[in-house]
């Protein structure tokens, strides 16, 4: 080895030892006859010292010539520092260097490689390999590594077998567009990259594997956001001979194991909530339960008092922000403007303050007497000091708007603490979702999800009301996992495809292999997949999954470091029998 120790290792106990360290020059401080160099590797930073008198001249000059990010090896004696730095684990010692070798010089890096950097996003992405030298970035990948190891440990301990499934496949419908890969040996034909290994893991159940998992890359061509990347990682799982409760228990176990082993946190009780309740009380299928602020419906108490906007609305619904009665007029106006932005689309915002001295004042005092407002306050369970915020309109739209407002108020009032974790199982999702654009039903989860047996007759009469054996795990308002109990017989699967508007031929062409497998002894089965990058981001207390991916893509799906996607050589196109002619969009 080119080193005897790492740069994070030496302490007072090592004083007087002869050591060799290797790493990157983080900083050089040259005080004339005295030079300090901070040497960094992935384990830490150790200070090197070169001193006129006790260090020979040539060595002193060599040290003075070191530039940032030079790769060097330094040998010398560990000595006790006179001025100790208790912020650094190695801050009590330094190395009095007797030999210095420059292993590789470095150009001046385009940004400062320290916790606080001057590099913008795009620049750091272009030089991601330099960004990854920074502690704050490296630590995120270390967290990811730990979570991966703990996942494997837990799953192996529960008898799950990790099986790799192919990457060149054909379309798996998870609701996004496919990335496709042309086949050279089958001109004019394409593979699709898996949106998930869904059909393969089901086939593994037919094969008798019983308990499968895989930490696997999935690919979805959709618009990007902070919590989306075109390629991302799932902890993908499937089990046979289980019901929904078994799956929830097993994977609650996984998540609890990760929290306790990686963060030392006991996650505690995981609440269950139906999709219908989540929508009714939080306007959202992934409610953030770190704070309460449940929706309260006010039709009974707010309609019929001559306020046309409420009278004509399908739903009048509000939230009570505890302790926010002090909000100034200006703050409330600002909130009103905020909910009226097109992204949220509310028509307006009605408020009622329950002042600390017990008075009720609202923005609609013209229509409501104090007794009326008291009825609102009672419905909310409001107390003096609270602020009631009310929206109205079409039920579905208004719930969505209020959900945004609730999250905003939670943020404003400091209720979304990143160090707190509130998990929730959302269950009983609808099987189908009506799509206005295509005027047909889509599978809300995916087409392999089974309907609740008692709801099957509704498929004919009221398809939108059919509930599925489908569930999501939500933590702090983020969907971290989702799955379902699957259909495992041909007839039901075929029926499902029919309801999704597939002709028999189309269904056969795309998923005949799966339906056929169901005819050869398919056990009842179900599963779940966790968005691994999101889970890492939550553990790390961050909104962006990008930080937890070694080489992520930017918002337009580009890797600016390797400059991809890019055109390919004519020769390659020819081999693929492809001619490119781009259409104007």
Residues 218 and 195 sit within 8 Å (Cβ to Cβ) = yes
- Give least dist CB 555 to ligand ASP, A: 22
Q: Looking up tokens 């998923």, which residue turns up?
A: 511
Cβ proximity to ligand ASP, 318 vs 482, nearer residue = 482
Distance of alpha carbon 66 from alpha carbon 513, whole angstroms: 64
Interacting residues with ligand ASP between 530 and 559 (CB under 6 A): none
Of 76 and 173, the one with the shorter C-beta distance to ligand ASP is 173
Indicate the DSSP class of residue 14. G
Distant-in-sequence, close-in-space partners of 126: CB < 8 Å, separation ≥ 6: 110, 560, 561
- Within a 10 A sphere around the Cβ of 328, how many other Cβ atoms? 8
Q: Which of 529, 536, 545, 549: binder of ligand ASP (CB under 6 A)?
A: 529
Candidate segments 204-212, 312-320, 478-486, 492-500, binder of ligand ASP by CB under 6 A: 478-486
- Of 280-288, 382-390, 423-431, 522-530: span binding ligand ASP (CB under 6 A): 522-530
Q: How far is the CB of 114 from ligand ASP (least distance, A)?
A: 39
Among 76, 393, 482, 540, binds ligand ASP (CB under 6 A): 482
Q: Which of 23, 393, 447, 483 binds ligand ASP (CB under 6 A)?
A: 483
Residue 487 is classified by DSSP as P
- Rounded CA gap, 378 and 392, in Å? 19
Which residues does the annotation place in the binding site?
174, 220-222, 229, 445, 479, 486, 531-534
Closer of 95 and 529 to ligand ASP (Cβ): 529
3-state secondary structure of 437: coil
Q: Does 173 bind ligand ASP (CB under 6 A)?
A: no
Task: Give me the least distance between CB of 394 and ligand ASP, in Å please.
Answer: 29
Q: Which of 278, 377, 528, 535 binds ligand ASP (CB under 6 A)?
A: 528
Residues belonging to the binding site for L-aspartate are 174, 220, 445, 486
Q: Of residues 74-133, which lie at the interface with ligand ASP (CB under 6 A)?
A: none
Nearest-approach distance from CB 446 to ligand ASP, in angstroms: 6
Would you say 219 and 270 are in contact if contact means Cβ atoms under 8 Å apart?
Answer: no
Strand (E) or helix (H) holding 21: strand 18-30
The DSSP code for 398 is H
The candidate with the shortest Cα–Cα distance to 497, out of 441, 452, 453, is 441
Q: Does 484 bind ligand ASP (CB under 6 A)?
A: yes
Q: Per-residue b/e over 98-110, b at no fewer than 16 CB within 10 Å?
A: eebeeeeeeeebe
**Rule CB under 6 A: is residue 302 a binding residue for ligand ASP?**
no
The site map against ligand ASP for 36-65 (x = CB under 6 A) is: ------------------------------
Report the nearest approach of ligand ASP to the CB of residue 251 (Å).
10
**Residue 511 φ/ψ region, left for φ over 0, alpha for ψ in the -120 to 50 degree band, beta for the rest:** alpha
Longest C-alpha distance within the chain, in Å? 94
Looking at the Cβ atoms of 481 and 540, the one nearer to ligand ASP is 481
Tell me whether residue 68 or residue 170 sits nearer to ligand ASP (CB atom): 170
- Residues near 350 by Cβ (< 8 Å), separated by ≥ 6? 310, 318, 362, 363, 364, 389, 390, 391, 392
- Of 432 and 528, the one with the shorter C-beta distance to ligand ASP is 528
Structure tokens, 187: 């001109």
What totals of helices (H) and strands (E) does the chain contain, helices first?
Answer: 17, 22
User: Binding site for ATP: residue ranges?
Assistant: 220-222, 229, 479, 531-534
d(CA 29, CA 238): 57
Main-chain dihedrals φ then ψ at residue 532, nearest 5 degrees: -65, -40
Q: How far is the CB of 326 from ligand ASP (least distance, A)?
A: 43
Q: How far is the CB of 204 from ligand ASP (least distance, A)?
A: 12
CB of 482 to ligand ASP, least distance (A): 5
| Candidates 266-274, 386-394, 499-507, 524-532; binding stretch for ligand ASP (CB under 6 A) | 524-532
Number of residues that bind ligand ASP (CB under 6 A): 9
User: Where is 240: in which H helix or E strand?
Assistant: strand 231-240
CB of 479 to ligand ASP, least distance (A): 9
Q: Which of 503, 457, 554 is nearest to 224 (CA)?
A: 554
- Beta-strand pair 525-531/231-240: antiparallel
What is the Cα–Cα distance from 510 to 497, expressed in whole angstroms? 11
Angle at which helix 244-258 crosses helix 135-157, to 10 degrees, equals: 140
CB neighbours (10 Å) of residue 553? 19
In the complex with ligand ASP, the residue whose CB is nearer, 95 or 205, is 205
The CB density around residue 91, as the number of other CB atoms within 10 Å, is 16
CA 49 to chain centre: 44
Cis peptide before 255 (omega within 30 of 0): no
Q: Are 133 and 24 in contact (CB under 8 A)?
A: yes
**Which residue number, 28 or 468, has a Cβ lying nearer to ligand ASP?**
468
Give the nearer residue to ligand ASP in terms of CB position, either 30 or 510: 510
Stretch that binds ligand ASP, among 35-43, 181-189, 419-427, 526-534 (CB under 6 A): 526-534
**Of positions 46, 90, 165, 196, contacts ligand ASP by CB under 6 A:** 196
For ligand ASP, which stretch binds (CB under 6 A), given 242-250, 435-443, 476-484, 488-496?
A: 476-484
Nearer to ligand ASP, 66 or 480 (CB): 480
Least Å distance between CB 459 and ligand ASP?
20
Which of 522, 523, 504 lies closest to 512, judged by CA? 504
Site membership for ligand ASP, residue 382 (CB under 6 A):
no
Q: Which of 318, 410, 527, 540 touches ligand ASP (CB under 6 A)? A: 527
Say whether residue 198 binds ligand ASP (CB under 6 A): yes
Residues near ligand ASP, by CB under 6 A: 174, 196, 198, 482-484, 527-529
């Amino acid at each position: 080895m080119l080193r005897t120790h790492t740069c994070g290792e030496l302490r007072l106990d090592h004083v007087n030892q002869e050591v060799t360290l290797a790493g990157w020059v983080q900083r050089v401080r040259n005080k004339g006859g005295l030079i300090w160099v901070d040497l960094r590797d992935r384990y830490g930073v150790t200070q090197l010292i070169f001193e006129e008198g006790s260090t020979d001249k040539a060595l002193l000059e060599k040290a003075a010539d070191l530039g940032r990010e030079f790769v060097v090896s330094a040998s010398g004696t560990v000595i006790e520092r006179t001025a100790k730095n208790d912020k650094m684990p190695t801050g009590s010692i330094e190395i009095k260097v007797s030999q210095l070798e420059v292993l590789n010089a470095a150009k001046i890096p385009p940004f400062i490689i320290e916790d606080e950097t001057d590099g913008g996003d795009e620049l750091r992405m272009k030089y991601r390999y330099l960004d990854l030298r920074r502690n704050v970035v490296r630590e995120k990948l270390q967290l990811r590594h730990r979570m991966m190891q703990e996942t494997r440990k837990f799953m192996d301990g529960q008898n799950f077998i990790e099986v790799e499934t192919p990457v060149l496949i054909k379309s798996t419908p998870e609701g996004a567009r496919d990335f496709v890969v042309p086949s050279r040996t089958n001109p004019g034909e394409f593979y699709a990259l898996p949106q998930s290994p869904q059909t393969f893991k089901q086939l593994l159940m037919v094969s008798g594997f019983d308990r499968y998992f895989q930490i696997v890359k999935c690919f979805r061509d959709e618009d990007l956001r902070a919590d989306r990347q075109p390629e991302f990682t799932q902890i993908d799982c499937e089990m046979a001979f289980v019901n929904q409760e078994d799956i929830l228990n097993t994977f609650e176990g996984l998540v609890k194991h990760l929290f306790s082993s990686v963060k030392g946190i006991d996650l505690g009780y995981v609440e269950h909530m139906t999709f219908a309740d989540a929508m009714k009380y939080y306007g959202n299928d992934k409610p953030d339960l770190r704070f309460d602020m449940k929706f309260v419906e006010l039709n009974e108490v707010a309609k019929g008092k001559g306020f046309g906007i409420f009278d004509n609305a399908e739903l009048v619904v509000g939230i009570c922000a505890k302790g926010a009665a002090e909000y100034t007029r200006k703050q409330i106006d600002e909130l009103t403007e905020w909910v009226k932005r097109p992204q949220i689309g509310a028509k307006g915002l009605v408020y009622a303050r329950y002042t600390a001295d017990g008075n009720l004042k609202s923005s609609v005092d013209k229509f409501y007497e104090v007794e009326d407002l008291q009825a609102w306050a009672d419905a909310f369970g409001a107390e003096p000091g609270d602020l009631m915020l009310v929206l109205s309109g079409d039920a579905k739209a208004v719930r969505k708007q209020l959900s945004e407002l609730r999250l905003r108020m939670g943020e404003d009032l400091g209720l979304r603490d990143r160090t707190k974790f509130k998990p929730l199982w959302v269950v009983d999702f609808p099987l189908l979702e009506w799509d206005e654009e295509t005027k047909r039903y889509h599978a809300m989860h995916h087409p392999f999800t089974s309907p609740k047996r008692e709801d099957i007759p509704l498929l004919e009469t009221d398809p939108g009301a059919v509930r599925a054996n489908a569930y999501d795990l939500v933590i702090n308002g983020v969907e971290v996992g989702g799955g379902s109990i699957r259909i495992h017989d041909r007839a039901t699967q075929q029926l499902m495809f029919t309801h999704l508007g597939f002709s028999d031929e189309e269904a056969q062409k795309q998923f005949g292999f799966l339906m056929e497998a169901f005819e050869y002894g398919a056990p009842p089965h179900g599963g779940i997949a966790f968005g691994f990058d999101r889970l890492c981001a939550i553990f790390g207390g961050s909104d962006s999954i990008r930080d937890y991916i070694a080489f992520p893509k930017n918002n337009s799906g580009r890797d600016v470091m390797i400059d991809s996607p890019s055109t390919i050589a004519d020769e390659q196109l020819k081999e693929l029998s492809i001619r490119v002619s781009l259409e104007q969009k």
